[in-house]
Amino acid sequence: MSNKESLHRRRKIVSSLTTTITAVCAFFAIAVLLIILSYIFVRGIASINLQFLVDTPKPVGEGGGIGNAIVGSVLMTLLACVIGLPIGIGAGVYLAEFGENLFGKTVRFLADTLIGVPSIIVGIFIYTLVVLPMGRQSGLAGGLALAIIMIPIVARTTEEMIRLVPDSMREAALALGAPQWRVTWNIVLPAASTGITTGAMLAIARISGETAPLLFTALNSRFYNYFYDQPMASLTVQIYNYATGPFDVEHKMAWAATLILITLILAINILVRFLTRKRF
Amino acid sequence: MAQTGTIGDKVFRTILVITAAIILLIMVTMVFIMVWNALPTIKSFGLSFLIGREWKPADSIFGALPFIYGTIVSSVLALIIAVPISLGIAVFLVEQAPKKIATPVGFMVELLAAIPSVVYGLWGIFVLAPFVRDYLGVFLEKYFGWLPFFQGRLTGIGMLTGGIILALMITPIITAVVRDILEVVPTQQREAALALGATKWETTQIVLGNAASGIAGAVILGLGRALGETMAITMVIGNSPQISASLFEPAYTIASVLAANFADATDEFYLSALIEMGLVLFLVTFVVNAFAKLLVARVGKRMHA
C-alpha cells in the first residue's frame, strides 16, 4: 500500500517538475527577447537625434548619420512591393482558386522551396542576373532581390487567407449569374483583404530586416541617392558596416540605427497581431 | 452577358497563371544560372572542391571542406541547444499553460523570429561574445576543459558563440512548427490518457510520441534555417577557414564566406568557386527543407484521417 502511494507521489512530483521545466524554457525565451530589446533601446537611444536621422555617413569623428540609408531602404522596399505584391497576390489567388492541378502543385512546392532558400543565395542569383550584365551594383538589383524574397511569402499567405473564405459565398455569387472572375475579384478578394494585407505587412517587415541579399546587389553608398541605377545604401547594410567597424563611435551608430529598424519591425508585427485578433 | 463572362474569365485566369508561372521561372532560372556560373570550378576541381582543406583564392586553390565543416558543426551545435528548449516552450504553450498565459507568451516567442539576423549579429558581437569570453567559456573550460571542445584560446568570437546565436534564432521557428503539430493531435487522446489516471506529464509523453515524426520534421526545418543563416553568424564566428575540434576557435561557414567575400571576388575563377559553394548550400537546404516538409505534412494528414 505504502509502495503504491510512494509511486503515486513520485509520478506527481515528476509531472509537476516537468511542468516547471517547460515553464522555465518559455521564460528563457522571453528573457532573451527582453534582454535583446532593452540592449537595443538603452544603447540606441543615446545616439539618436535629428542630425543622426538626416546626415550621411562621415569620416570617424565628424558625426554622421543614416539619412541616406533610410531613404535607400525605403526606395528598395518600395520597389520590392511594386514588383512583389502583385505577383505574390496573383500567384496566391491562382493557387487557392485554380491550383489543384499539376502546375498548381508544382508552383506551390516551388514557392515553399523558395521560402526556404537562404537569402544570401537570392543575392548571388541577382548578382549574376542583374549586377554582372549592368556592370555595377544598384538599387534596382537590391529591390529585385527583396522582391524575390517577398513573392513566395505573399503568395502562400494570400493562398491561405483566400482558402478561409467560405465556398457558400462563391456559390451565392455564381448562382446570381456573376462570371468566375467577378466572383474572385469582387467577392472573394474583398472578403480576404484583411488577411492578405496583414500577410503583405509581415512580408514587408521581413524584407526590411534583410541584409544578406543587399550586400553585393545594392552594395552601399555614402550619399543620398534617389536613382535605382546607382548603388544604394540601406539601414541593414549600414548597421552591418558600423557594427563590424573598428571604432566605438561606429558601434554607437549601429545601435542607434538598429533601434530605428527594430521599432519599425515590432510596430508592424504588433499592428498585425491587433488586426488579426479583431477578426478571430 | 455570358460572353463577357467567358472572355473576362480567360483574361483573368491568364494573368493569374502568369504570376504563378513567375515563381516557377525564378526557381528554374536560379538553379540554371548557378550551375552555369559554377561550371568552371566544377569542371576543373570536381569532387576535390568538396573535400579539399585548403582555401587560397590568390593561388586559385579552392577546397571547401573547412566551410562545409563550419556550417555543419555550427548548425548541429545550434540544434543541440535549441531543440530541448523549443520542445519545452511548445509543450508549455499547448499542453500546460492556460490560454491567458499561452497567448501573450506565444506572441513574444514569435517576436524573436521577427528580429533581423543583422540585429542578432550586432547583439552577438557586443553582448553575447563578451559573455561567452568572460563567463560561459571560463566555466566550460574549468569544468569540461578535459574535453577537446573546450580547450584553446578563448576570445568569445568563434564556433561556440556562433552556435548559440543560431540556436536563439531557430528556437522560435522550431517552437512554432511543434506548436502547430501538437495542436492537431486530437484532444480525445489526452482525455483518454487522463481518464486512465495518467499524470499531465505522462499524457504529454503520449502526445509527443504520436507527433514524433512531425517533431522530427520541425527539427530538420530548424536545421535548414541554421545552415543558411548568414549575417549573425558571419559577425560572430570569426571567419577563419580552419577545422578545429575546439568550439572556442574561430570558424567559417558557407553562407558567411559568401557574405564576406562575394563583393570582392573580381577574378572569374574565384567568383565561380564562391557560386559553386552557394550551389552546394542551395542543394543541401533544398533537400533538408523538402524532407522536413514531408514529415510535417504526414503528421497533419494522419491526424485528420
Q: What is the pLDDT of residues B107-122, one digit of tens each?
A: 999 999 999 999 999 9
Choose the closest CB to A32 out of B20, B30, B168.
B168
Q: How far apart are CA A148 and CA A111, in angstroms?
A: 10
Q: Does B294 touch chain A (CB under 8 A)?
A: no
For A9-42, write each residue's pLDDT tens digit: 999 999 999 999 999 999 999 999 999 999 999 9
C-alpha cell at A116: 526556404
Q: How confident is the model at residue A278 (pLDDT cuts 50, 70, 90)?
A: low
| Residue B93 near residue A26 (C-beta atoms within 8 A) | yes
In angstroms, what CA-CA distances link B143 with B130, B136, B137, B188? 19, 11, 10, 47
Helix (H, G, I), strand (E, B) or coil at B56: strand
- pLDDT tens across A61-98, in order? 788 889 999 999 999 999 999 999 999 999 999 999 99
A258 touches B at CB < 8 Å: yes
C-alpha cell at A275: 488586426
**Predicted local distance difference test score (pLDDT) of residue B153:** 86
| B70 inside domain | yes
C-alpha–C-alpha distance, residues B114 and B118, integer Å: 12
Cβ <8 Å between B282 and A12: no
- 8 A C-beta contact, residue A214 and residue A141: no
- In this predicted structure, the answer to whether residue B1 has a pLDDT above a threshold of 80 is no
Q: Which chain B residues are closer than 8 Å to A243 by Cβ?
A: 118, 121-122, 125-126, 235
Sorting pLDDT into bands at 50, 70 and 90, what band is A58? confident
Of the partner residues B20, B224, B263, the one whose CB lies closest to the CB of residue A219: B263
Q: Which residues in chain A touch residue B89, judged by CB atoms under 8 angstroms apart?
A: 22, 25-26, 29
Q: Cα(B275)–Cα(B271) distance, rounded to whole angstroms?
A: 6
CA distance B292 to B214: 8
Nearest-Cα residue of chain A relative to residue B170: A29
Query: Which H or E element spans position B55?
Result: strand B55-56
Mutate to test the interface with A, among B34, B115, B204, B264 (most CBs of A within 10 A): B115
Q: What is the DSSP string of B230-241?
A: -HHHHHHS----
Q: Is residue B5 part of a domain?
A: no
Domain membership of residue B48 (yes or no) is no
In a domain, residue B238? The reply is yes
B201 with A15: Cβ contact below 8 A: yes
A123–B262 CB contact, under 8 Å = yes
CA distances B283 to A85, A267, B76, B117, Å, are: 27, 35, 18, 22
Has residue B298 been placed in a domain? yes
Residue/partner pairs of A59-65 with CB below 8 Å, 24 or more apart: A60/A247, A60/A249, A60/A250, A61/A249, A64/A253, A65/A253
What is the per-residue pLDDT for B39? 94
Residue A79 or A221, more confident: A79
Mean pLDDT rounded to a whole number for chain B: 92
Q: Is residue B137 part of a domain?
A: yes
Cβ contacts (< 8 Å) between B18 and chain A: which residues? 90
Strand duo B55-56 + B61-62: pairing: antiparallel
Size of interface A-B (CB pairs under 8 A): 264
Integer angstrom CA distances of residue B60 from B37, B41, B63, B259: 16, 10, 10, 19
**What H or E segment, with its residue span, contains residue A68?**
helix A67-98
Nearest-by-Cβ selection for A93 from B16, B126, B290: B16
User: Which structural domain range is residue B275 located in?
Assistant: 66-304
pLDDT digits (tens, 9 = 90+) for A198-217: 999 999 999 999 999 999 99
At A280, the pLDDT band (50, 70, 90 cuts) reads very low
Contact B31, A121 (CB under 8 A): no
Instruction: Provide the number of structural domains found in chain B.
Output: 1
Mean predicted confidence (pLDDT) in B211-230: 95
What percent of chain B lies above the pLDDT cut of 70?
A: 97
pLDDT above 50: residue A182: yes
At B3 the pLDDT is 52
- Render pLDDT for B44-84 as a digit per residue (tens, 0 to 9): 888 889 988 988 888 888 999 999 999 999 999 999 999 99
Is the pLDDT confidence value at B2 over 90? no
Nearest CB among A30, A206, A210 relative to B108 is that of: A30
Instruction: Tell me which chain B residues have a C-beta less than 8 angstroms from the C-beta of A32.
Output: 112, 168
Q: Give the mean pLDDT of A255-260.
A: 96
Q: Residue A279's pLDDT band (boundaries 50, 70, 90)? A: very low
Q: Is the ipTM of this complex over 0.90?
A: yes
The count of residues in chain A is 280
Q: What is the pTM of this model?
A: 0.94
Mean pLDDT of all residues belonging to chain A: 93
CATH of the domain at B104: 1.10.3720.10
The residues facing A57 across adjacent strands are: A64
Rounded mean pLDDT, B271-284:
95
Q: Who among A152, A211, A262 is closest to B117 (CB)? A: A211
Partnered with residue A64 across adjacent β-strands are A57
Average pLDDT over residues A137-165: 96
Q: Mean pLDDT over residues B221-246, rounded?
A: 95
With CB atoms and an 8 Å threshold, state whether A127 touches B9.
no
Judged against a pLDDT cut of 70, whether residue B305 lies above it is answered with no
